[in-house]
Amino acid sequence: MENRTVDTRERILDAGERLFMAHGYEGTSMRQITSEACVNLAAVNYHFGSKESLMQEVFRRRLDWLNEERMRVLDVLEAEANGEPVKPSAIVDAFFGTLLRMAGDENRGGMTFLRLLGRTLTEPSEFIRAFLAHEYKTVMDRYKEALFKALPEVPKAEIVWRFHFMLGATSYAIAGTDALRLVTDWQIEDDDSTDRLDRLVPRLMSFLLGGLRAQLPQFSDAAVDSK
Amino acid sequence: MENRTVDTRERILDAGERLFMAHGYEGTSMRQITSEACVNLAAVNYHFGSKESLMQEVFRRRLDWLNEERMRVLDVLEAEANGEPVKPSAIVDAFFGTLLRMAGDENRGGMTFLRLLGRTLTEPSEFIRAFLAHEYKTVMDRYKEALFKALPEVPKAEIVWRFHFMLGATSYAIAGTDALRLVTDWQIEDDDSTDRLDRLVPRLMSFLLGGLRAQLPQFSDAAVDSK
DNA sequence: TTATGATTAAAACGAACGTATGAATCATAA
DNA sequence: TTATGATTCATACGTTCGTTTTAATCATAA
């Protein structure tokens, strides 16, 4: 009894992950999912209750580990720092590097899940964004505080915005790994497809850190003082 | 005869733009669109042929101007430079600043279109990405070349990636202007909603430039030389 | 072996989807 | 004023959607 159930659930989750990534939530039908998973149409509703619940479970299966790992790594970093601020580069790597390294781990969803996540962060569906907000809140607050400590000379509002920009650059980078070719016809000469990911991580990391530590913006109008 | 037609077409385009932004392409029905536009259900197929064609027209209406403007501004910059490379900050502003300043221009779609565009760049639907690829290709190539000239010491592949990251940060920043609150519950103290956009542009610009000019990544393995 | 609860299977439900049709209505030129 | 082509309208078509139902099949404990 155990074996068949688990297999069916996992096959549905795998198929859902892949198809939601490829066609989006609204663009994927239950019949596509159950067909790809080689299970009966009613199996999704039996095991998960509804399409929405399936979507949530697809994310929970991966995000639970990811966010626990992010917490764990930051714990270690802060313990090592002995009350001193953690280096910004270490914080960025703990948050985004941990995410990106999932791409190489097929047991944790690999590139498929990363692309699904990247796309979903700009997904219009209300229930998905609300769900992700709840899943992410605690981790976000921890990292936000760590960055405040690490960059005391940068206004907090600025850090919050830059965290936001970093999320965007990362989401897009992982969501569009092959959309890149489509949109721009760009040729990346010194990479072949096998090690592209190994290069992407340091490349993105450099970019994120450069943005995070960039010169503070000059607001052209006098609104800063006049209010 | 002219008046009624134009009004109907425009009302449909406006409603489509808003609803596609709010619920995505697949998540928006013809009945929602025609209902919001106060036109008959058959009007979309009469004026545009199909839902897909409507979506394309929603984009063309705004992108034609945007990309022409980007070309025009870069023409001016290169003419002023007299053969010398244009400053990276000017190139970035010409490409992303021109886009972001659309947000304040309701006649060109304003924030609604910007958020639609931001979300669509990671949209799964094949025909949309293919369409945007075609619309964007020429402009992209021009700006890519300008950046190559402006940053001769940075490897071309690196510039291409960083352009990609900049696109992502920008898309996300404009797509998620209120999703930000939802996902993170962040409080941006010194901004109220009226001038948030005036601040966002220089903030994002600083971030993008910081990332574009960041220290080059160090690849940990020896793959750079060994191949 | 038989009883029981968990799982799978086939079929159907009503609702909503994008699209097409043909008649009614409109603006305009002859 | 009437004829004509453009536009709007109500309605229906055939599909596909997510979900539900009821019966069959399975694995396991008594």
Domains and CATH numbers, chain A: 1-49 (1.10.10.60), 60-217 (1.10.357.10)
Instruction: Look up the ipTM and state it.
Output: 0.89
Q: What is the pLDDT of residue A64?
A: 96
d(CA A121, CA A51): 19
The predicted pLDDT at position B202 comes to: 94
Task: Check if the beta carbon of residue A212 is closer than 8 Å to that of residue A160.
Answer: no
Output the average pLDDT for chain B: 87
Contact check, Cβ <8 Å, A169/B172: yes
Indicate if the pLDDT at residue B108 is higher than 60.
yes
| Chain A residue with Cα closest to B117 | A122
Average pLDDT over residues B3-11: 76
What string of pLDDT tens digits covers the 227 residues of chain A? 444 456 999 999 999 999 999 999 999 999 999 999 999 999 999 999 999 999 999 999 999 999 999 999 999 999 999 999 999 999 999 999 999 999 889 999 999 999 999 888 877 778 888 888 888 899 999 999 999 999 999 999 999 999 999 999 998 888 765 544 444 444 444 444 445 677 888 999 999 999 999 999 988 764 444 33
Cβ A206–B216 below 8 Å, yes or no? yes
Q: Which of B161, B205, B219 sits opposite A217 (nearest CB)?
A: B205
Asked if pLDDT for residue B193 goes beyond 70, the answer is no
Among candidates B122, B160, B199 on the partner chain, residue whose Cβ is nearest the Cβ of A175 = B122
Token representation of residue B12:
């449909």
Between the CA of A54 and the C1' of C6, what is the distance in angstroms? 20
Nucleotide whose C1' lies closest to the alpha carbon of residue B41: D9
| Residue B99 or residue A194, greater confidence | B99
C-alpha distances in Å from residue A77, one per residue of A95, A102, A154: 12, 20, 21
Between B165, B170, B202, which is nearest A219 by CB?
B202
Contacting residues for A103 by C-beta, under 8 A, at least 6 apart: A110, A111, A114, A174, A197
Q: Is the CB of A12 under 7 A from strand C?
A: no
CA atoms within 13 Å, Cβ hemisphere of B63? 20
Mean pLDDT of B36-52: 98
Query: In sequence order, which residues have a C-beta less than 8 Å from that of residue A8 and are 6 or more positions away?
Result: A37, A39, A43, A47
Q: Which nucleotides of D are covered by protein (CB under 7 A)?
A: 5-12, 16-22, 26-28
Please tell me if residue A222 touches chain B, with a CB cutoff of 8 Å.
Answer: no
In the structure, how far is the CA atom of residue B72 from the C1' atom of nucleotide D30, in angstroms? 84
What is the rounded distance in angstroms from the CA atom of residue A75 to the CA atom of residue A78?
Answer: 5
Rounded-to-integer distance, Cα B185 and Cα A196, Å = 35
- CA–CA dist A15, A29 (Å, integer): 11
Q: Do B119 and A119 touch (CB under 8 A)?
A: no
User: How many other CB atoms sit within 10 Å of the CB of residue A63?
Assistant: 19
Q: Where are the alpha helices (DSSP H) in chain B?
A: 2-23, 30-36, 43-48, 51-81, 88-92, 98-101, 110-120, 126-150, 156-175, 179-184, 196-212, 223-226
Closest residue, chain A, to B19 (C-alpha): A124
Distance from CA of B11 to the nearest CA of A (A): 22
- Hey, what are B172's tokens? 């996300």
The answer to whether the CB of B139 falls within 8 A of the CB of B70 is: yes
pLDDT in tens, B136-174: 889 999 999 999 999 999 999 999 999 999 998 998 888
Long-range (24+ apart) CB contacts under 8 A made by A124-131 are A124/B21, A124/B22, A124/B23, A124/B24, A124/B27, A124/B119, A125/A25, A125/A26, A125/B23, A125/B24, A125/B27, A127/A52, A128/A25, A128/A55, A129/B179, A129/B182, A129/B183, A130/B182, A131/A56, A131/A59
List the single best residue of B165, B178, B187, B218 to mutate versus A (max A Cβ within 10 A): B165
What is the spatial distance, in angstroms and rounded to an integer, between the CA atom of A38 and the C1' atom of C8? 12
**HSE (side-chain half, CA atoms, 13 Å) at A90:** 15
Cβ of A40 less than 7 A from strand D: no
Q: Three-state DSSP class for B172? A: helix
Position A5 scores a pLDDT of: 52
Q: Is the CB of A7 under 7 A from strand C?
A: yes
Would you call B68 exposed, middle or buried from its count of C-beta atoms within 10 A (0-12, 13-18, 19+)? exposed
User: For position B122, what pLDDT does the model report?
Assistant: 79
- Stretch 61-120 of chain A: residues touching chain B, C-beta under 8 Å: 118-119
- Cβ-based contacts under 8 A for chains A and B: 227
The reply to whether B164 touches chain A by the CB within 8 Å rule is yes
Distance CA B145, CA A79 (A): 47
For a pLDDT cut of 70, what percent of chain B falls above it?
Answer: 85
Whose CA is closest to B158, among A204, A89, A103, A180? Answer: A204
Indicate if the alpha-carbon torsion angle A58, A60, A62, A63 is positive or negative. positive
Does at least one atom of strand C sit less than 7 Å from the CB of A42?
yes
How many of the other CB atoms lie within 10 Å of CB of A23? Answer: 16
Lowest mean pLDDT among B12-26, B140-154, B184-198: B184-198
Phi, psi of B162 (to 5 degrees): -70, -30
CB contacts, 8 Å: A162 with chain B: 203, 207
What is residue A196's predicted lDDT score, i.e. its pLDDT? Answer: 67
**pLDDT of amino acid B71:** 98
List the A4 CA – D29 C1' distance (angstroms).
18
Reply yes or no on whether the pLDDT at B191 is more than 80. no
Q: What's the confidence (pLDDT) of residue A225?
A: 43
Contact B168, A168 (CB under 8 A): yes
SS3 category, B121: coil
Judged against a pLDDT cut of 80, whether residue B179 lies above it is answered with no
Please report the pLDDT score of residue B129 as a whole number: 82
Q: How far apart are CA B156 and CA B150, in angstroms?
A: 11
Residue A151 Cβ < 7 Å to strand C: no
A207 and B24: CB-CB below 8 Å? no
Indicate whether B5 pLDDT > 90: no
B170 in contact with chain A, both atoms CB, cutoff 8 A: yes
Q: What is the predicted pLDDT for the residue at B127?
A: 85
Q: What residue in A sits closest to B158 (Cα-Cα)?
A: A203
- Residue B100's nearest CA partner among B183, B22, B174, B203 is B174
Residues B36, B71: Cα–Cα separation, whole Å: 35
- Using alpha carbons, list the distances in angstroms from residue A174 to A19, A112, A222, B91: 16, 9, 39, 25
Judged by average pLDDT, the poorest of A208-217, B16-25, B110-119 is: B110-119
The CA distances from residue B48 to A120, B24, B77, B164, B219, in Å, are 29, 19, 38, 33, 51
Give the pLDDT of residue B121: 84
pLDDT score for B149: 97
Q: Smallest Cα–C1' distance to nucleotide C5: which residue has it?
A: A1
pLDDT tens-digit readout, B63-89: 999 999 999 999 999 999 999 999 999
